[in-house]
Every structure is written in structure tokens, then in C-alpha cells.
Amino acid sequence: MTKKVSNRKPTKKHQRSNNLFSVIIAGGSGTRFWPLSRLETPKQLLHIGSHKKTLIQATVSRMSPVVSFKRTYIVTNSGQVESINLQLLSMTGLSWDKQFIIEPEAKNTAPAIGLAAVYLRRIDPKAVMVVLPSDHVIKNNRKFHSAVLLGAQASGDGFLVTIGIKPDKPETGYGYIHCGDKIKQGVYHVKEFKEKPDRERALKYLQAENYYWNSGIFIWQADTILRAMKKHMPKLYEGLVKIDKAMGTERVQEVVKTVFSKLKSESIDYGILEKAHRVALVPVDMGWSDVGSWNALDHVLPVDGDKNVKKGNLISIQNKNSILYGGERLIAAVGLEGMIVVDTPDATLICRRDKAQEVRKIVDILKKRGAREYSTHRTMLRPWGSYTILELGDRFKIKKIEVKPGAKLSHQMHHHRSEHWIVVAGTAKVTNGDRVYDVHPNESTYIPMSTKHRLENPGMIPLQIIEVQNGDYLEEDDIVRFDDIYKRKTQK
């Protein structure tokens, strides 16, 4: 029994290093997972491959035995901060307010990583960054932790370390890394990075056994990557120096914005790794998937005897090798083979599996049309609970609003609409102008236009109300906030 020491889960103390930081890149808009992903709920915020955690929750949680929550930073855009903060708060019980590094615009991975490196080097000159995409699935956490720690060690010798995944099929959708000589146990020189191959070449790589998938997970000292940028991406480096100097001043946001506006979009792979000399590879077989499209769902979810992934309210007859991904609405599928069906309350996708990449085109069309299905879902989560749009009329809008026990919406006012509230479950505490009163199930109240009001749930069970809005303009941005316990700027 005592022989298997190396298989034991190491204690947290043993694993965590004092210089290690997680840098989670959460910039993607996740167009490839439409209609489940929308502009306001990109892929990393979705439950894909797990009921319990969203992809970004799983990413943060997975790293926690190695890097504490407090040393984990999220690089994202301002539009996603509130949603990510809400998800991480609900998982950890901690506020993540201070752990966001905001990109003013998306410029691919090199600028995002450069910005994080400058930021972390200020906190700790010897900071070691573990750079992680926020939307990948990893099944074997133990192997993942071992690889990260091996990489962290190698980063101490000045290596830029990349985690390589042992291929189990001739995948044409990933870049490959040609593995070179051994540096030490489990760590190798990188001979060459290879672009996404055709099928024939992918088969060769698979057979050769010294090619690995490029996972996009990297480990290096903040200082090492910045020095590499100075050499290989001098313009980026110049901008980062400006940002570095502005840090701690009031100007910093403005400087980041100006610098980013002038940067070229560039990936860290192309900009640095393919050019740098001391690049190391830690190969690992850890059940990894980047879940790049709906077509990859059977890599991360169980399949039935006919190789179908099935979820939701389905009637499935004679289907094979298909992804049937529904929710509460009824989907009946008959005789499908190699198809993807994804259902959401307001939109359904039906797509041949080998056309999964075309889903981007749909999102482009919706964006051009200014369609609601591009940006939001019918149900939107908020720190205080959620709301669901039941009906949109000419001069009215019907919402179901659910407020968590103890939660309260902001003290607010609308210029263009009045609201009827009917309580259908729980008890509402309502501030309506100067009056404060309770409203119980089967009771209603009326909030006139331009009247300051607030809705809260003083009770122990969820509060459910039906809101009927009347007015000439019924968008979410008609809101004046006077007080908000969640300190939000944009959301209701």
C-alpha cells in the first residue's frame, strides 16, 4: 500500500508555491456555441460538460489546490466582469472585484498576457504566471496539477513552458508541437510549432508519437515573457512599458485604452513562442478538450449506445451519432445521423456535424440584423436572482422576476415605463416613492412612471413576481440607480 506514494493527492500546502499566480484568459465571445452562448453569456459562463460548474468556475476551481483564489486573476473585457464576478462569488463566497485585469478591446492573446505580466510583476517581481484559457475541459486534475508544477519548476530556469497534450486521434483542428530533447524528467525542448495539419499529416503526427497538441496553457515568469516580448514584439513591449509607468496612478485606465487601441492583434504562439529560444514542453495525457464547437460535445459528455449525446426534454427515435442538446422545451428527433440539435427558449439550431464551424455565420447574420437572439437570452441571471422575458408587445413587456432570499434590487426609477407587480410566490418588500410595504402572493402593486422604487425579498424562500411593464420605451437601459448593494453600473 505504501508503494503508491506518488499517486497520493499532495496536500495543498505542499503544492502551492509562493510565486505562482493563475491568469485566466476569458475574452472569448463564444460564437461557436450559439444559441446557448450569446454576447452576454459567452461559452466560459456556460455549463458545458458539467452540471455543477460553468467552464470558468471549473477552471478556477481546478487550479485552487495549486494556486489560491486570492492569487488568481481574470483577464477579460468590461462587459463580462459583472457576470464572471457573480459566478465566482457564488462558487467561492469571495468577491473577485480586485482580481480582474480589463482589456479595453480584444487583441488576441499576446497583448492580454503582456498586460497581465506587467500587472503581476508589480505585485511580485518573481511572479510565475500559469496562463489558462477559461473555457477548456480537463478530466484528470491530478495529472494537470503535476504538469503545472513541473512547468513552474522549469520556468525558474528561464523557460517559456507550454503544456502539450498527447493526441489520441488525428485531429486537424489543433496546432501541434514537435517534441525535442529531454531537459529533465517530464520536460522537453520544443523542436517546432506546427500549424493545424491536413488529415494525412495529422495521421503522421499521431503515429510519430513525438507530436503534441498545443493546449494554450502556458507557464513562465512574468519577467521572462516580458523580456521575450521586448525582443520579439518590440511595439507591444513599448506599450506595456507605458502602462507599467502609469500603474498606481489615476491615468492607468486611459493609458491602457490608448495603448491597446494602437496594438496589432497577435497570438502569443505566433508572436513569441514560435520565435523564442528557451521554449519547453511538458507533455501530459489529462483528458483535455478545448470543446471548440458543438461537434466536440461527445468528447466531454457521455454518449448512448448509438453514440448520441442526449440532454433535456427529448423524444429520440432512431438517431445515431448526433448531439441532441435541449432544455425544457420538447424536441422530437427522428432518424438523425451525424446531426447537431441545440434548443433554447427562443432559438433552435439544427446543423450537420461536419458544418459546426458554420455556426459563426449564423451569429454574424444575427448581429447584422440587430437580432435579440445575438446578444441575450430570454432568462438573464443577476446578482439578486434572475428575470425571464415572457412576452414582448407593442407597448408592453411581461417579465417573471425571481429574487433570492435576502436579496434586493437597486433603488431605481424609470422615465418611460410604469410597472405592475403581482406576487405569485414568497413575500415582496416594496419601496414605492415614500411608502414601504409588503406584498404577498395573489396581491399586486403598481409603480407609476418616474417614481423611485425598490424590490426586495425579506423572506426565507425565493420571491417570484410577474411584472407587466407599460410604456413607449421598454429597454433595460431606461434605469436611474440611486443605490445598489451590488455596485453595478449597467445592469438592472
- Chain positions contacting a second copy, by CB under 8 A: 34-35, 315, 317-318, 329-337, 339, 341, 343, 346-352, 354-355, 358-359, 361-362, 365-366, 371, 373, 388, 390-391, 393-396, 398, 400, 418, 420, 422, 424-425, 441-442, 444, 446, 464, 466, 468, 470
**Residue closer to a second copy, measured from CB, 179 or 340:** 340
Neighbours of 404 (CB within 10 A): 16
**Residue closer to a second copy, measured from CB, 252 or 398:** 398
Helix, strand, or coil here: 432?
strand
Residues 6+ apart with CB under 8 A from 98: none
Residues 6+ apart with CB under 8 A from 314: 324, 326, 330, 331, 332, 333
Q: How far is the CB of 141 from a second copy (least distance, A)?
A: 35
Q: How far is the CB of 354 from a second copy (least distance, A)?
A: 7
Residues 393 and 437: their CA atoms lie apart, in Å, by 30
Cell 495529422 sits on residue: 202
**Residue closer to a second copy, measured from CB, 165 or 389:** 389
**Residue closer to a second copy, measured from CB, 72 or 319:** 319
Residues 457 and 426: their CA atoms lie apart, in Å, by 8
**Residue closer to a second copy, measured from CB, 123 or 317:** 317
Q: How far is the CB of 382 from a second copy (least distance, A)?
A: 18
Q: How far is the CB of 463 from a second copy (least distance, A)?
A: 13
Q: How far is the CB of 415 from a second copy (least distance, A)?
A: 15
Burial of 76 (0-12, 13-18, 19+ CB in 10 A): buried
Contact 484/410 with Cβ under 8 angstroms? yes
Contact 227/159 with Cβ under 8 angstroms? no
Residue 303 corresponds to which cell in the numbers above?
454518449
Q: How far is the CB of 405 from a second copy (least distance, A)?
A: 17
Q: How far is the CB of 342 from a second copy (least distance, A)?
A: 9
Residues 304 and 321: their CA atoms lie apart, in Å, by 9
**Residue closer to a second copy, measured from CB, 36 or 263:** 36
**Residue closer to a second copy, measured from CB, 142 or 369:** 369
The single-letter DSSP state of residue 250 is T
Q: How far is the CB of 124 from a second copy (least distance, A)?
A: 47
Residue 31 corresponds to which cell in the numbers above?
460564437
**Residue closer to a second copy, measured from CB, 97 or 358:** 358
**Residue closer to a second copy, measured from CB, 21 or 374:** 374
Residue 489 corresponds to which cell in the numbers above?
453600473
**Residue closer to a second copy, measured from CB, 209 or 472:** 472
Which run of H or E residues covers position 319? none
Residue 208 corresponds to which cell in the numbers above?
510519430
- Phi, psi (rounded to 5 degrees) for 22: -95, 140
Burial of 423 (0-12, 13-18, 19+ CB in 10 A): buried
Partner residues linked to 110 by β-bridges: none
Instruction: Of 442, 353, 461, give the one whose Cα is nearest residue 403.
Output: 461
Q: How far is the CB of 173 from a second copy (least distance, A)?
A: 17
The single-letter DSSP state of residue 36 is T
Q: How far is the CB of 396 from a second copy (least distance, A)?
A: 4
User: Which runs of consecutive H residues, i.e. helices, occur in 172-221?
Assistant: 199-208
